[in-house]
């Protein structure tokens, strides 16, 4: 039987607690925020109130902020907080005994069907639930900090958690407009932390051994491998004490370079000094050239090995691991995907060499990784690794479906990076349009996930790691969109910049919300637009306006883009979907042969002389006059009815 959730209690008003309370209130739930001291509750509520106000100020809240705040009440009374709650989320410090005591008290004060969830990031749900009489009610619901911005939530099943509790928790996370990832087995640190810890830890061991320094490791992983932060930079950001405490609570060894800093109370950014000096020094100051000579494979091999261990132990699927690492770890691509691109044979060989040389358990290859390699499933080049590439592989960065009217709806699915265009995403767009059965398609719509961006452009983290030929993937995908034989529509809501702007210019129809911004900012990176960004733009708006946009690298409003002839329409947010669907309906129900020919003649005619283009048009007109669709159109016109084209 499904469990209904209407009221939520959040225990702990710190950064995680008030953040969880905020997202629940925004989603429409009645929320009680509770802590042990009135001052803690007041501070938490003030932060929640400030955050809701900022969201409203930035136009990121589609409701009255006062209505959100009216759904939140505060208390220090535990029984009053949880007595009527359908869901209780614990968000107190990572202390096992403290959490156990709290859950025992909560269980006694709640109804038998109340779901009890812990926001722990590193402890086992089963261990926390051990002091309760009904551990089947307890699950994990690990939000990432800050909850209002981070999209991922790890939903964890304890060893005795009921399936319907997990299902309800999963559904609750979805109702918050967050992405849940199911952790099927209750292991310490779940998915993201298990895979991310080696990223920070392994460079520490290398530094201890004199095989790397801080700036070398950080520069290599950022500028050579495309990670958003270097390992030591990330450790400083999160707090070195948290890293060391988490490792020690599971009796895991800790690199001396970490321990010595923590012993000296140099905990990273929060104390002003860690691996970098943020007070008296320059802070994070590594440069691209600093990364030469660092063994990046050693770090990534350990991360990939951890991912393989999770898959092999049935903790999570490769797809969920990769989504978790992108949304929760901030990685540009999932770790399983990285392994398939690097080659799992290389990864296994590296681990075996390190294990033989050191004997350290951290290098012992996961059984599943060995199994994959021994089966010949060594990655993308072999046709199979974590993923099956026999038909091109799964789609990681776009979602697509063909509806009953033949409309192919494509969503750029990298919301965590404002739908920035990676090489993989561009290849997926290209592959989809080249392999789809066009006889089943009437038109195509393109849009970005979320409401912040159609696409903010090419993913610049890949610029320093890509070959020049890789960057040409933009041109390939854009040309495929432009040449696609069915009409294409760009649905622009939010930022539409760089490569995203170039994709829209390759589309036949461009529709936007009034708040959208468009532009070609490449000049600010020392580049020029690619993917036809200069040539299609000049054909749309002329030389003067093209040079203004390209030379200045500025964004223009949707209203100005309409005035300049870049957009077909810019409408209020409330009218956007209705406007789009009006265009889609007209095209999807139109004469498909004529639409195909019209697109071809218009596109090709632009590159021909006027005389040649008119001849093309005349020939096409003559051919279409012999079709059944033409006869149906004439008959429908004569009898004053809507045509029913084939």
Active site includes 119? no
CA-CA distances (angstroms) from residue 619 to 331, 598, 614?
53, 12, 9
Active site includes 625? no
Q: Check pLDDT > 80 for residue 635.
A: no
The sign of the torsion formed by the CA atoms of 492, 494, 497, 499 equals: negative
387-398 pLDDT, tens digit each: 999 999 999 999
301-323 pLDDT, tens digit each: 999 999 999 999 999 999 999 99
Residue 474 pLDDT: 75
Q: If pLDDT is split at 50, 70 and 90, which confidence band does 471 have?
A: low
Distance, in Å, from the CA atom of 179 to the CA atom of 170, rounded to the nearest integer, reads 9
Q: Check pLDDT > 70 for residue 42.
A: yes
Pick the catalytic residue from 18, 142, 377, 396: 142
Q: Check pLDDT > 80 for residue 93.
A: yes
Pick the catalytic residue from 90, 107, 154, 447: 154
Residue 464 pLDDT: 56
572-590 pLDDT, tens digit each: 999 999 999 999 999 999 9
Pick the catalytic residue from 51, 119, 157, 193: 193
Q: If pLDDT is split at 50, 70 and 90, which confidence band does 286 have?
A: very high
Residue 2 pLDDT: 62
> Bigger pLDDT: 595 or 253?
253
Distance, in Å, from the CA atom of 78 to the CA atom of 37, rounded to the nearest integer, reads 11
Q: Check pLDDT > 80 for residue 138.
A: yes
Residue 373 pLDDT: 98
Report the DSSP beta bridge partners of residue 116.
88, 138
Percent of the chain exceeding pLDDT 90 equals 83
* Lowest-confidence pick of 105-119, 361-375, 450-464: 450-464
* Lowest-confidence pick of 397-406, 592-601, 637-646: 637-646
Percent of the chain exceeding pLDDT 70 equals 97
Q: If pLDDT is split at 50, 70 and 90, which confidence band does 405 have?
A: very high
Whether residue 556 contacts residue 516, with contact meaning beta carbons closer than 8 Å, is answered with: no
The whole-number average pLDDT for the span 207-235 is 96
Active site includes 193? yes
Q: Check pLDDT > 60 for residue 352.
A: yes
Residue 169 pLDDT: 97
Q: If pLDDT is split at 50, 70 and 90, which confidence band does 521 have?
A: very high
Q: Check pLDDT > 70 for residue 11.
A: yes
Could you tell me which of 189, 191, 171 has the C-alpha nearest to residue 180? 171
Contacts with 447 (C-beta within 8 Å, 6 or more apart), sequence order: 409, 410, 411, 412, 454, 490, 491, 492, 493
Site of tokens 């789009």:
580
Residue 315 pLDDT: 97
Strand 398-402 and strand 179-183: the pairing is unpaired
Distance, in Å, from the CA atom of 336 to the CA atom of 318, rounded to the nearest integer, reads 6
Average pLDDT, the chain: 93
Residue 1 pLDDT: 42
Active site includes 568? no
Pick the catalytic residue from 51, 121, 194, 305: 121
Distance, in Å, from the CA atom of 421 to the CA atom of 434, rounded to the nearest integer, reads 18
The whole-number average pLDDT for the span 387-414 is 96
The whole-number average pLDDT for the span 344-363 is 97
């Amino acid at each position: 039987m499904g469990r209904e959730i209407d009221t939520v209690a959040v225990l702990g008003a710190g950064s995680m607690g008030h953040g969880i309370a905020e997202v629940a209130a925004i989603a429409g739930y009645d929320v009680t925020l509770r802590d042990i001291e009135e001052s803690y509750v007041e501070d938490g509520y003030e932060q929640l109130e400030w955050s809701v106000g900022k969201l409203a100020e930035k136009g990121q809240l589609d409701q009255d902020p006062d209505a959100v705040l009216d759904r939140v009440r505060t208390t220090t009374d535990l029984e009053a907080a949880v007595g009527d709650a359908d869901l209780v989320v614990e968000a107190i410090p990572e202390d096992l005994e403290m959490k156990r005591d709290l859950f025992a008290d909560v269980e006694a004060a709640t109804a038998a069907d109340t779901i009890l969830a812990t926001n722990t990031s590193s402890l086992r749900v089963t261990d926390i639930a051990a002091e309760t009489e009904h551990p089947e009610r307890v699950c994990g619901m690990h939000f990432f900090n800050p909850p209002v911005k981070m999209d991922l939530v790890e939903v964890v099943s304890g060893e005795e958690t009921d399936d319907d509790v997990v299902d309800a928790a999963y559904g609750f996370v979805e109702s918050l407009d967050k992405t849940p990832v199911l952790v099927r087995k209750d292991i310490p640190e779940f998915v993201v932390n298990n895979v991310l810890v080696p990223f920070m830890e392994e460079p520490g061991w290398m530094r201890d051994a004199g095989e790397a320094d801080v700036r070398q490791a950080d520069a290599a992983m950022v500028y050579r491998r495309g990670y958003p932060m270097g390992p030591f930079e990330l450790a400083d950001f999160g707090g070195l004490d948290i890293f060391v405490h988490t490792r020690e609570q599971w009796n895991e060894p800790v690199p001396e370079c970490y321990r010595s800093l923590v012993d000296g109370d140099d905990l990273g950014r929060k104390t002003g000094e860690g691996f970098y000096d943020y007070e008296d020094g320059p802070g994070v100051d590594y440069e691209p050239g600093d990364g030469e000579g660092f063994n990046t494979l050693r770090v990534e091999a350990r991360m990939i090995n951890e991912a393989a261990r999770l898959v092999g132990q049935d903790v999570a699927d490769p797809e969920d691991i990769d989504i978790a690492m992108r949304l929760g770890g901030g990685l540009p691509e999932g770790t399983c995907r990285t392994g398939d691109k690097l080659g799992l044979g290389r990864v296994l060989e590296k681990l075996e060499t390190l294990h033989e040389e050191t004997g350290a358990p951290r290098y012992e290859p996961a059984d599943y990784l060995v199994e994959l390699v021994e089966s010949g499933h060594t990655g993308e080049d072999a046709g199979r690794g974590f993923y099956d590439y026999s038909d091109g592989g799964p789609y990681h960065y776009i979602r697509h479906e063909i509806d009953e009217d033949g409309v192919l709806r494509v969503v750029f699915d990298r919301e965590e990076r404002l739908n920035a265009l990676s090489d993989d995403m561009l290849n997926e767009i290209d592959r989809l349009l080249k392999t789809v059965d066009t006889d089943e398609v009437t038109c195509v719509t393109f849009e970005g996930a979320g409401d912040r961006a159609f696409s903010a452009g090419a993913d610049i983290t890949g610029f320093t790691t890509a070959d020049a030929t890789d960057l040409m993937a933009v041109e390939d995908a854009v040309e495929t969109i432009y040449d696609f034989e069915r009409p294409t529509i760009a649905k622009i809501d939010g930022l539409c910049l760089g490569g995203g702007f170039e994709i829209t210019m390759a589309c036949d129809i461009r529709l936007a919300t009034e708040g959208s911004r468009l532009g070609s900012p490449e000049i600010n990176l020392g580049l020029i637009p690619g993917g036809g960004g200069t040539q299609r733009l000049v054909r749309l708006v002329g030389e003067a306006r093209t040079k203004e946009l390209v030379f200045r690298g500025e964004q223009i409003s949707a209203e100005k883009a309409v005035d300049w002839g870049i957009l077909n329409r810019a409408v209020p947010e409330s009218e956007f979907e209705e406007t789009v669907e009006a265009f889609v309906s007209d095209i999807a129900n139109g004469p498909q042969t004529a639409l195909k020919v019209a697109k071809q003649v218009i596109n090709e005619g632009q590159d021909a002389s006027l005389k040649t283009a008119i001849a093309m048009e005349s020939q096409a007109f003559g051919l279409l006059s012999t079709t059944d669709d033409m006869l149906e159109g004439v008959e429908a016109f004569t009898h004053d009815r809507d045509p029913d084209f084939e």
